[in-house]
Structure 1
Amino acid sequence: MFFEGPFNPLFSITGFCVGMLVGITGVGGASLMTPLLVLLFGVHPAMAVGTDLLYAAITKTAGAAVHHRHGKINWQMTGLLALGSIPAALLTLWLMSGIDRTDMAAVSTLTTALGWMLLLTATILIFRGAIMAAKTRWVKTHALPSSRTIAIYTLILGLVLGFVVTMTSVGAGAIGVTMLLLLYPRTAIQEIVGSDIAHAIPLTFVGGIGYWLIGEIDWFMLLALLVGSIPGIILGSFLAPRMPERLVRIILAVTLAMVGAKLIAS
């Protein structure tokens, strides 16, 4: 690590930068935080994921409270996602607890999985506009699935998110929101985002607590990240209306793709 001691100020600087990006674009928290911890600070992938999950649970709580106050959370959608994601998270944690996480093969598997998730996130960020345009055209010419079918698909989405988020801490934001927009084309995007954030809280909290129980949480690192990220998110939210959001999103996507490729190659 660049700094030895219980409280690393470089973690706070990293948290501030990532928090500012989150405030500007609404995505990028776990997508950037976990790989930065692994690549820049040499943190073990499992500890980076576990610490980042608790970090996400804390930071997303404030966002969910705002969305709830404005009535922008669909609790049925959130419940269906959690019905799939929480059991998947528990199963993933059980599998993680049974492997030797210091083994190089395990480290390589976690690092590669994180890299592929970053590439998928980057692809979705770049092509979300085209995906949404295609969805709009499809809705105009096709009948929507039944509510029961949509509920089943939402449950399946929760299962997938529970697995990938618990393993890599990535996916609840850009990937989850995009898939929900496809499943619920007539639901306002603010409600989709609010529901996704509300669902991410129990998922990341369960995941974070699970990693703590298997010894993969660094509490000083978590505190340092929060110290930096909270003012970063506030500043980013203030700057968001003044920034070219599309340009920032493309830069973020390219950065994620480069980091993902480096993780896969490492």
Structure 2
Amino acid sequence: MEIGFIVAGLAVGFIVGMTGVGGGSLMTPILLFFGINPATAVGTDLLYASITKAGGVLVHHKHRNIDWRITRWLALGSVPAALATVWALHVMRAETEAINAVIKHALGVALMLTSVAIIFKQRLLQFAQRHVGVSASLHGGLQRRWATIGNGALLGVIVTLSSIGAGAIGTIALFLLFPLLPTARLVGTEIAHAVPLTLVAGLGHAGLGNLDWGLLSNLLVGSLPGIYFGSQLTGRLPDHILRPVLAGMLVLVGSKLVF
């Protein structure tokens, strides 16, 4: 089984490196397929995400592709929301079946939302670009700041329950809030925000016993070289083929979990 997890990490890392699609939307369903308990799958994947994305933060920071002001606003909402969600799971701890049911449904909904974000990404970006005023500032006023904090709080709940959403959903939401932000800076900002969010949520799950350290090690052994080799093929496969295939897969898995 260890070989199976290493291969799974290699495959997910390769796809993430090639397409940029968030690893959580692929890794967590794979862990469920292997028979891993839903809570353990989510907790392990959260810490896995925080480790794999930490390297991305260093690269993006070096190239000045992170807006730390927006990152702080997102974290102001997401980190407390993640802690509150972990506390709620702690309260429900005696109800193991109930926790697994909540996590499975949250996972299914997050997968379907991610598929929508993948399919309609370009249309959403074009919509945001058309409707931003020519005089709008990059960061906007107090209303946009609170909207960003609220968006972070929503992501905090979704990501803590499902380990999914910090990538595709978070990036789309950020672009709708800050359409003047360059794409590279937007992606770097979301990755920088995802690291503390997934770290806090992952450690929270670890405190609840929802973490398999051996499983985490096997996933990392496979995913790190997978990300490297996948990144070498970025842009080689047509986006109009990859996007529907990935979205369709996520819808099938998500609908099965929900229904």
| TM, length-normalised to structure 2 | 0.95
Out of 159, 163, 166, the residue aligned to residue 169 of structure 1 is 163
TM superposition shift of 1:136:
1.9
Deviation at 1:98, TM superposition (A): 1.6
CA distance, structure 2, for counterparts of residue 245 and residue 232 of structure 1: 20
Alignment of 1:23-38 (within 5 A): 23-38=17-32
Instruction: Encode CA deviations 1:69-109: one digit per residue, 9 max, x unaligned.
Output: 10000000000101111100110011111213663333222
Query: Quick check: 1:55 aligned with 2:48?
Result: yes
Matched with 2:67 is: 74
Match of 2:117 among 120, 124, 134: 124
Displacement, 1:171?
0.5
Q: Distance in 1 between matches of 2:12 and 2:129?
A: 32
CA distance in 2, matches of 1:102, 1:43: 18
Contact 2:9 2:226 (8 Å CA) reproduced: yes
Give the C-alpha shift of residue 246 in structure 1.
3.5
Could you say which residue in structure 2 is the equivalent of 1:44? 37
The unaligned stretches of length 5 or more in structure 1 are none
Q: Give the CA RMSD over aligned residues.
A: 1.6
Q: Measure, in 2, the Cα distance between the counterparts of 1:233 and 1:246.
A: 21
Query: How far did residue 214 of structure 1 move?
Result: 1.1
Residue 204 (structure 1) aligned with residue 209 (structure 2): no
CA shift for structure 1 position 241: 3.0
Distance 2:245 2:116 in 1: 12
Q: Quick one: distance in 2 between partners of 1:122 and 1:245?
A: 14
Identify unmatched segments of 5+ residues in structure 2. none
Q: Within 2, Cα distance between the matches of 1:249 and 1:142?
A: 34
Q: 1:13 corresponds to which residue?
A: 7
* Whole-Å separation in 1 of the counterparts to 2:184 and 2:141: 20
The equivalent position to 1:185 in structure 2, one of 179, 184, 193, is: 179
Q: Which region of structure 1 is more displaced relative to structure 2, 247-256 or 216-225? A: 247-256
Distance 2:189 2:240 in 1: 23
Of the candidates 83, 94, 100, which is equivalent to residue 90 of structure 1?
83
Q: Distance in 2 between matches of 1:150 and 1:101?
A: 40
**Runs of 4+, deviation exceeding 4 Å:** 140-145
Any conservation in 1 of the 2:82–2:201 contact (CA below 8 Å)?
A: yes
Instruction: Tell me the equivalent position of 1:148.
Output: 142
- Normalised by the length of structure 1, the TM-score is 0.93
Q: Distance in 1 between matches of 2:238 and 2:157?
A: 34
Farther-moved stretch of structure 1 (254-263 vs 244-253)? 244-253
Give me the whole-angstrom Cα distance separating, in 2, the residues matched to 1:102 and 1:249: 38
Q: Who is 1:247 aligned against?
A: 241
Cα shift at 1:141: 7.8
Bigger mean CA deviation after superposition, 130-139 or 86-95: 130-139
- Give how far 1:245 is off: 2.9
Alignment length (residue pairs):
258
- Is 1:114–2:107 an aligned residue pair? yes
CA, structure 1 residues 257+142, in 2 after alignment: closer, same or farther (shift >3 Å)?
A: farther
CA distance in 2, matches of 1:233, 1:101: 38
Q: Is the 8 A contact 1:173 1:196 kept in 2?
A: yes
Q: 1:225 aligns with which of 213, 219, 223?
A: 219
Q: Percent identity?
A: 46
